[in-house]
Chains A and B, each alone.
Chain A
């Protein structure tokens, strides 16, 4: 198809502002999906995504639209994730487009992630079409939020579309605007092939499926392609587009987006952001890719039942086929046995991986407290990266420790400013600036990432009654006076409970943690002291009381099987605990650390 009839676009929206509903509506209006086939939110294919209302994997769908000018256009909708953990996936989606729909909830207005993604789009030189969604809601204020959106991207308020993706009102205007306002692609159809890999998934029958945006040239089924960064050569076993089901077209040309089946065994073999070119006629230079994704949050995942270790490894291998950002390596804990230290993009990513492992692979897992990656210099001048408290050398061997900081942008109504600033101060935050946006304030703080990976987001939400939204980006490493806080159960240090903390916070955290552990760990056969220690010095202590009574009163002829079964049921319950030395520790205990650092009134469980 000639390039001037092609439009590549994506949708930028905050979670719950209606991106998926709008995408579904576009598919319906263009006839790509009939009403009968319509499952809610077609593009979100995983159950988890549908449940959480979050889009994780970017995908591309091609539809045809006959516009008011009588021409039929090829529209390629490239889906974007809406959560901060996946902002790198947003940037790669943006790189495949010439324009974006900026969707804002007409009752909620702009949120922190809307801002962050808008800036990414503006940097990428994309044409933005502002869209106010959910105008059918009674609380909608299209005047106010329309002005704010127009101001944000520097356009006239009259160009802001007002729609309801739910009822379909105004969606036709969106299609017209896509055709009219977003420029067509302008690659060179005759030049050597350059195709940007913006996503890839693993299919158990077909191997790695890469989603590509062809910028220059064209390739066909059977061509041998080369990934320019890695030099890896792949065969185009099949080439086609998503309609949204896979449709083999045999060819993809400049301006188009589509898929490529490679038969490769792991998504790691084809790096997202790499440029594909023809082996027999390579391009001179690759396209500008985007920064490689690095895990920011690490935790240990251990099977509750040690026999499940091989299954956990298999499951991680399978998940990695589809998730190049998930890192893992074997880890051995004295307390928890054999497991894996895993690296994630953020807390949501961690939660999603853990839930998938438990749900799709039927594993019972114990996750240790999330950690960030510390950099340290030893007294011997050696540089180390530390991703787990157990890797921290003794204090006498440490010359300096640096920890990752993030720059947080928090958008909050004026009456929540105090609460947000207090929270940020409690978490060792450094104030940067505050600017009004709409009727809210955007507060910028620099915070240690370690302070965010526990319950910061939950706290932020609960202290602002849900009104604050958060976005953050890495802001480099800074030196901090950090120490290792050890927890001892019955005198033995429990590696899985130790953590790295700022020295001024060690006493408070240690005290809170042993108290929490005393509440979480049930009475044991013998009395068990719980101690917190820094550098071998005990700073807090609690005691788990010994059991005093554990008998079944009645046991006659008719009760013997019942009593035996009761013991068997008790044993089942014990299996859900982790045996640490002679102490039975419930899983929740290992998560106690997550909810520290919050004021005592906020013991609410996570999620």
Chain B
């Protein structure tokens, strides 16, 4: 049975400059129809679900669904949900206030992840974010007061034009807020985004490495564990839903564009909202594109995912590397430590994870 559920809530007020996700802008009048379709897809899938240990409501801007629709969805899920389950929702600062958080808390949500991205007005503007810095701060404060078990903040570095001083200021700000969990990603300039069309370039490798090292060093010094490539948590506040992905556990995704991986098969729902609504209303499931994960692919994915974590990779679980002879060389070079049945990246190794993976595995 699948114990991890993702629900995609795609509505947004506007598309941010770096965004390449499945989002719907200017379609707020279809939220009720979308909720109905989600419930229909859930009805078709509920046979393979439960008891759910984690539920993650991601977007888009999930908070634009308003608390009453979220409540209705979670009521449907309640019979499938394990006691003490982690139920997360992503929130955009400008869409929530004290009242909204209080109502979300009453729906059973235990964890809020606030999409701050930065506290610097120039960088928020460069990213086309709708929130001002004070709204970001206020949203975090409100969320903490609303009594969620964990409050997380999402941040970005490597924004075009970002200075080292701005980076340090963001680190200061987020440490001041004292949240339970921080996700800090390097900005990816994906094709087809406004940033890419503007010709934005990523910072050079040395600047990005300095920034990344500074983030890791200062958050760790403040008591956060660097438990995954881009994620930091106070003890006990690791995101269980994300850990399920990194542990290669099965998960089901509901909603437009959502991805599922169950029993060696991965599929993605159609990314078109109209197609999704139409097909689910007729068939109960949307059109899907699927790929089968053979044993070799699964093994390579386990290495790819497992080495993101700070705990050692269990080779009995992941399977052998394609190039075991590289282990000694990488260990001698200070990039990993290997013991019988266990491989762990060193701090330096974690910064060059892709390059290490290419030494160990054959991604072809």
Contacts and interface: CB of A to CB of B under 8 A. Distances in A.
A25 B329 CA distance: 68
Interface string A551-591: 11111111011011001101100100000001000000000
B6 A557 contact: yes
Query: In the complex, which range does the number of interface residues on chain B fall in?
Result: 35 or more
A561 B291 contact: yes
B259 A582 contact: no
Interface string B151-187: 0000000000000000000000000000000000110
B258 A550 contact: no
Interface in A481-535: 523, 525-526
A550 B242 contact: no
A570 B363 contact: yes
Interface stretch (B37-45, B104-112, B353-361): B353-361
Contacts of B305: 555, 560
B304 A570 contact: no
Given A525-B359, A549-B212, A554-B230, A560 B301 contact: yes
B52 to A, nearest CB: 14
A548 B205 contact: yes
B351 A548 contact: yes
A542 to B, nearest CB: 17
Given A555-B245, A560-B261, A525 B188 contact: no
Contacts of A582: 329
A567 B357 contact: yes
Contacts of A555: 229, 245-246, 304-305, 308
B14 interface: no
Contact of B352 (A549, A570, A571, A574): A549
A474 B305 CA distance: 63
B341 to A, nearest CB: 24
A328 to B, nearest CB: 31
Interface in B1-50: 6
A547 interface: yes
A553 B182 CA distance: 13
A405 B1 CA distance: 80
Interface in B214-266: 229-230, 242, 245-246, 251, 253, 257-261, 266
Contact of A557 (B186, B208, B253, B335): B253
B259 A558 contact: yes
Nearest to B268: A558
Nearest to A551: B353
Interface string B331-364: 0010100000000000000111111111101111
B266 A571 contact: no
B359 A548 contact: no
Given A525-B356, A548-B205, A548-B206, A553 B229 contact: yes
Interface string B295-316: 0010011001100100000000
A549 B209 CA distance: 5
Nearest to A554: B185
B344 to A, nearest CB: 16
Contacts of A568: 363-364
Given A551-B352, A553-B229, A561 B212 contact: no
Contacts of A553: 185-186, 188, 229-230
A301 B356 CA distance: 31
A582 B323 CA distance: 14
Given A557-B261, A571-B363, A574-B358, A547 B301 contact: no
A564 B301 contact: yes
A557 B205 contact: no
Nearest to B363: A567
Among A523, A551, A554, which residue has the most Cβ atoms of chain B within 10 A? A551
Among B208, B259, B266, B350, which residue has the most Cβ atoms of chain A within 10 A? B259
A555 B304 CA distance: 10
Contacts of A549: 205, 208-209, 212, 351-352
A561 B209 CA distance: 25
A560 B362 CA distance: 16
B335 A525 contact: yes
Contacts of B242: 556
B152 to A, nearest CB: 13
A518 to B, nearest CB: 15
Contacts of B230: 553-554
Interface in A72-94: none
Nearest to B244: A557
A525 B6 CA distance: 36
Nearest to B335: A525
A555 B309 CA distance: 12
Given A557-B6, A558-B258, A568-B363, A550 B297 contact: no
B259 A557 contact: yes
A557 B361 CA distance: 21
Contact of A550 (B206, B246, B301, B352): B352
Contacts of A548: 205-206, 209, 351-352
Among B6, B242, B258, B363, which residue has the most Cβ atoms of chain A within 10 A? B363
Contacts of B245: 555-557, 560
Nearest to B187: A553
B290 to A, nearest CB: 11
Contacts of A561: 259, 266, 291
Among A553, A563, A564, A571, which residue has the most Cβ atoms of chain B within 10 A? A553
Contacts of A525: 333, 335, 352, 355-356, 359
A523 B355 CA distance: 11
Interface string A219-234: 0000000000000000
Interface in B192-220: 205-206, 208-209, 212
Given A525-B335, A555-B246, 10 more contacts: A525-B355, A549-B205, A549-B352, A551-B350, A551-B351, A553-B229, A553-B230, A555-B304, A567-B363, A570-B354
11 contacts: A523-B205, A525-B352, A525-B355, A548-B351, A548-B352, A549-B205, A551-B352, A558-B6, A564-B304, A567-B361, A567-B363
Interface of A: 523, 525-526, 547-558, 560-561, 563-564, 567-568, 570-571, 574, 582
The 3 closest A-B pairs by CB, nearest first: A548-B209, A567-B363, A553-B185
